[in-house]
Amino acid sequence: MKTQDFQTTAGERRVIGSLVLIGFIILGMATFFDQAVSGFLMNQRSIFGNIFQNYADTGAQTIVFVAMQIIAWVSFEHLKGDLTRYGVVLGALIFSFIEMLSALQDMLSYTFSMVSNLKQGIPMGVANNTSAVVNYPESLRWSLAIVLTLLLSMIFKIWVSRQDLATQTYLVQAALGGIVLVLVATTTINDMKTLWGRYRPYEMTTMGHLSNFTPWYHLNGANGHNSFPSGHTMSGWLYLYLTFFVPRQTVKWQLRLTWFGLAMGILTALSRVRIGAHWLSDVTVSSLLVGLMIVLISRVIQAHFVESNQSLLISR
């Protein structure tokens, strides 16, 4: 695309502006009614909450996996010299495999924790620290990771090889933008979690910490509690970036993945409040931060969420 011709469309401005306004209105409400909302909605036995807790925390790994696959196979198509070519391809595929292992760790850990909770007769949504709990067979995780990475790598290789040079160049830009997005988003959210030290709703009710409630704007410092902002919600919204991995001429899939990303972001946020893992303000701030990061990266790579006919003509 030509830098001087790229502009945010009127439609994008309306949608982005409306979503940001809604976000700040909800944050204003949450400032006064966080406890009341959680008291009304919280249910750690919620199937809806458990599904998203178990399987929606993989947005970051998904973006990096796809980005590394694109880098691997575009490099395979164009880099000269076998050592450089195969070195880059192998390195990118190893990174893809690591992201697959990480995604499966979250999914398997939460799933096995849920099954264990059911066997013990406690609410299935009681969360565990997935980075510390290994409650599943490692052989299962590695076997799944190897099979899925090999299968998806073959699919991506064929898909990338069918794109023209201009599209491949754009896809590499989108891949690099996705990696930067994940790095900035995860670092920001994780650092804020440590700095805020906010207790989770279920910790207040099931662990007897009612006196430890603090509003979202109050910083507690590092204390082992990390409710604010929501990491799962961040991962849910990161799925919205998938639309930028679609070739710019394929408008239909851009529209589908934009709707998918919006749905994942909103539903994941709601599920975290429902299961008692986060306050309404936790998920709202995470939504605003990550949503705006995605918009910023999309401007850097000069891509619309859904390309219009006019923008496609300009880019040619």
The 3 state secondary structure assigned to 144-213 is HHHHHHHHHHHHHHHHHHCCCHHHHHHHHHHHHHHHHHHHHHHHHHHHHHHHHCCCCHHHHHHCCCHHHC
Question: Maximum distance among all alpha carbons in the chain?
Answer: 64
Q: Tell me which residue of 105, 145, 144 sits closest to 128, measured CA to CA.
A: 105
pLDDT of residue 313: 43
pLDDT for 207:
57
Residue bearing the bigger pLDDT, 25 or 129: 25
d(CA 144, CA 129): 22
Please give the model's pTM, rounded to 2 decimal places. Answer: 0.92
Buried b (16+ CB within 10 A) or exposed e, 95-117: bbbbbbbbbbbbbbbbbbbbeeb
Per the CB < 8 A criterion, the answer to whether 172 and 75 are in contact is no
pLDDT digits (tens, 9 = 90+) for 27-68: 999 999 999 999 999 999 999 999 999 999 999 999 999 999
Q: For 75, list phi and psi in degrees, rounded to 5.
A: -65, -40
Q: What is the pLDDT of residues 257-279, one digit of tens each?
A: 999 999 999 999 999 999 999 99
**Token digits for 258?**
């934009």
Give residue-wise pLDDT tens across range 122-135. Answer: 888 886 654 546 68
Q: Judge whether residue 3 has pLDDT over 60.
A: no
The mean of the pLDDT values for the chain is: 92
pLDDT of residue 223: 93
